[in-house]
A and B are shown apart, each in its own frame.
Chain A
């Protein structure tokens, strides 16, 4: 589970609880100008994950950590796919983040409302 918040001009994703261990990461900070959008996407879990390094992947149980696929890095922290949101990034190490949040609808509204629009 992740806690997603907006802090000034940055999006902060805090990995909570034991997920810190599985994902080998506790916090990601991304400038909002590098966030392209966010989508509640329960079906994302069925996508190919690619090669994990480092991280944890027990299919059907937990997907956490950095995964490499098609020349892209994707950060995952999902146990319950129903609550997964996909955060699309640009000019970052990760092409996108797929994280489980407590209230996907609220998280989408929070980030979409904070992204600077051209």
Chain B
């Protein structure tokens, strides 16, 4: 819009994405944003219009810079075990799926614009997991759900077998019904 900004907009959006991923939309106040992003309140309003405006920018940034690259590496995985390992371990704490997961739970059911972003990302994840295998049409969606569920579980507890083992077990079970070379 051509008006001068006293801050790095991308950096602010990135920091906001992290904040929203950890505390959810409703759990982040404008006070929190002003404190954590180091941006003046009026600048925040002037640049993003509203808290929701900033959230949409953060969600789109997250999809483009965290989810899409993850989807690309998942697409290169040999099987679900590897895909799960990549999805949950590539970015250390697995944060590459977190804002998407939170958006799917919190805002997508009531906010159509959020729903569009979430659906597009999940569809792309489906496609990467299916990896051209059209023999079982519902399978990709089931694997995406399993992946999100594993991430949810990993966020909830650090105990137990761990997502990596769960992913491997699921892949083993799937391969029983698969072609012999897998």
Chain A residues close to B by CB (< 8 Å):
36-44, 47, 69-70, 72, 86, 88, 95-96, 112, 117
Contacts and interface: CB of A to CB of B under 8 A. Distances in A.
B52 A95 contact: no
Contacts of A40: 51
Main secondary structure of the interface of B (DSSP, over half): helix
Contact of A88 (B34, B50, B113): B50
Given A39-B30, A41-B30, A117-B113, A47 B49 contact: no
5 contacts: A37-B49, A39-B50, A43-B30, A86-B50, A88-B45
Interface in B15-60: 29-31, 34, 41-42, 45-46, 48-53
Contacts of B45: 39, 86, 88, 96
Given A70-B42, A72-B42, A43 B49 contact: no
A40 B29 CA distance: 9
A40 B52 CA distance: 10
B30 A37 contact: no
Contacts of A96: 45
Given A42-B29, A70-B42, A95-B46, A37 B34 contact: no
Contacts of B49: 36-37, 88
Contacts of A86: 30, 45, 50
Nearest to A87: B50
Contacts of B52: 37, 39, 112
A39 B94 CA distance: 30
A70 B40 CA distance: 12
A77 to B, nearest CB: 17
Closest 3 CB pairs of A and B: A37-B50, A36-B49, A37-B49
A57 to B, nearest CB: 18
Given A44-B30, A117-B113, A39 B42 contact: no
